[in-house]
Amino acid sequence: MPHQPGTWTREEIAVVDAGAARRSIEGTAIGNFMEAYDFTLFSLVATILAQKFYPGENSGTGNLIATFGTMTAGFVVRPLGGVIFGPLGDRIGRKPVLVVTISLMAVCAAATGVLPVYHTIGLWAPILLTVIRVAQGLSSGGEYAGAMTFIAEHAPDHKRGMMAGFLPVGTLAGFVVGATLVTGLQTALPSADMLAWGWRVPFLLAAPLGLIAVYLRSRIDETPDYEEMHARHEETSARKQFRQTVVEQWKPLLICLGVELAVTDTSYMVSGYVPTYLKKTAGVADTAALVMVLVVLAILTVGVLLVAMLSDRIGVKPLMWTGCGLLIAVSIPAFTLMRFGGTYPAKFGGVLLVGLPMLFLSSLEPAILPALFPTNVRYGAVSIGFNIAVSAFGGTTPLLAESLVTGTGNAMMPAYMLMFAGVIGAVTLIFAPEVAGKPLLGSRPSLHRGSGGTGGKTPGVGAGALPGRGGAGYTQPGPFDDSGGG
């Protein structure tokens, strides 16, 4: 990345505390874990929920559609959750809102595990289940966007990609743990026991997980960017805040939507639809299909952090372009292998191929989105743009893919969907700024303690250069180097 002239005094550079950085990662990644864990549980026990919460005690088409409709209701209200929690986070602070969203999320997941079924309370069972999913969707509307905002504002400029990379690690770990737990229960328990009570166990585990999450959130420090903004006592009416958040941010909001289309279409295709495709179209047994996806997600859990760290050195946009290019190049070969691969290893190769673009896109999503917006509207704008995209492009991906395959008779339609998403993402990135190594909009440059100094003036930082690459006196510290004076 080219160095641009510019210097900052030590007093003008924000010094990031290593302990606060660690706590910010722990406190935010646990929320991503909880959200992905809950989504995975609901998806994988959907056939059981169809029997327990709807008339007839069966998992026929009508009950299964009703169950997925209940899940979809949570996605539909996500933008509303973003509108509620995002601007609130810009008004009262990131930390209190994130404590509320994680608490609500944990309560909803645990409540699902104790909810009476249709045989016990009749129509109140599906009604209460829908209410819980709606509340869950509202909390999700403020959760990931808030986590992205929080971690971005706590990270030093030259380590923002790496720190943000822990968020998709939490998400992927939630997918893996949730799926592993359900698979383990289905293997260990007789079908009758799984139907009677076994399905409740993973949801009930959300209660202790939620307590841990709330504890971790209670230990995080409010972000320096928000505290500096709040100290200026800038009073803003709701109308003015809406104009600043939406009307004045129309261009970065469009960039957010375009980038997120590529990211969310890929991630929900892999985690939400590929298992169904393997079973229905490729003729793979249920357990084998789930294991294939689980192994790919486990590989991605490790890989996303490596890509995130690489982005701090070579930039976010080149790596995201790589992900979009892979969507265009490998989608057809991937689904062809899944359909026609004669052995399980060949079919697994197809799943791994379709997961490869996700490695580059999901890992960098939390690095680029918050950097598009200034501090005073960051939480709200990210929440609105991100959740509209997830609601429109993510939650609908499995339904749209299956509808296209059924309606057209063409089993390659999911591949075409991913290729389209890759094109949109690639074109959108042309208009997006490079954000690696640069201060967030409206923020001072920031470094970890021990990142060096030149005796009063620090060349390059905040002017578009990566610390350590633009001037003498810089060292590349470890991820949480707390040595030295800053």
Report whether pLDDT(253) > 70: yes
Mean pLDDT of 302-310: 93
User: How far apart are the C-alpha atoms of 351 and 344, rounded to whole Å?
Assistant: 11
Q: How confident is the model at residue 460 (pLDDT cuts 50, 70, 90)?
A: very low
Tokens of 112: 């699902």
Q: Which residues pair with 459 in a beta bridge?
A: 7
Tokens of 473: 């006196």
User: What pLDDT was estimated at residue 464?
Assistant: 35
Count of CB atoms situated within 10 Å of the CB of 137: 24
Over its C-alpha atoms, the chain yields an Rg (Å, rounded) of 23
Instruction: Give the pLDDT confidence of 30-52 residue by residue, as tens digits.
Output: 988 998 899 888 888 888 898 99
Q: Which residues pair with 457 in a beta bridge?
A: 9
Q: Are 64 and 50 in contact (CB under 8 A)?
A: yes
Instruction: Give the pLDDT confidence of 428-449 residue by residue, as tens digits.
Output: 999 999 998 888 887 777 666 5
pTM of the model: 0.83
User: What pLDDT was estimated at residue 307?
Assistant: 95
Q: How confident is the model at residue 124 (pLDDT cuts 50, 70, 90)?
A: very high
Q: How confident is the model at residue 156 (pLDDT cuts 50, 70, 90)?
A: confident
**Residue 139, CB half-sphere, CA atoms under 13 Å: how many?**
25
Phi-psi region of 464 (alpha: psi -120 to 50; beta: other; left: phi over 0): left
User: How far apart are the C-alpha atoms of 472 and 320, rounded to whole Å?
Assistant: 30
Mean pLDDT of 399-413: 87
Q: Rounded to an integer, what is the distance from CA 361 to the centroid of its chain? A: 11
User: How far apart are the C-alpha atoms of 232 and 235, rounded to whole Å?
Assistant: 9
Q: In percent, how much of the chain has pLDDT > 70? A: 86
Token look-up 């026929």 returns: 60
Mean pLDDT of 341-352: 92
Tokens of 315: 């930039």
User: How far apart are the C-alpha atoms of 13 and 473, rounded to whole Å?
Assistant: 15
User: What pLDDT was estimated at residue 7?
Assistant: 58
Mean pLDDT of 416-424: 96
Q: In percent, how much of the chain has pLDDT > 90? A: 51
Report whether pLDDT(11) > 80: no
User: What pLDDT was estimated at residue 15?
Assistant: 58
Report whether pLDDT(343) > 80: yes
Instruction: Give the pLDDT confidence of 324-338 residue by residue, as tens digits.
Output: 999 999 999 999 999
Instruction: Give the pLDDT confidence of 175-233 residue by residue, as tens digits.
Output: 889 988 988 898 899 989 999 999 999 999 999 998 999 999 988 889 888 888 888 76
Instruction: Give the pLDDT confidence of 260-283 residue by residue, as tens digits.
Output: 999 999 998 988 788 888 988 888
User: How far apart are the C-alpha atoms of 343 and 284, rounded to whole Å?
Assistant: 10
DSSP output for 50-81: HHHHSTTS--SHHHHHHHHHHHHHHHHTHHHH
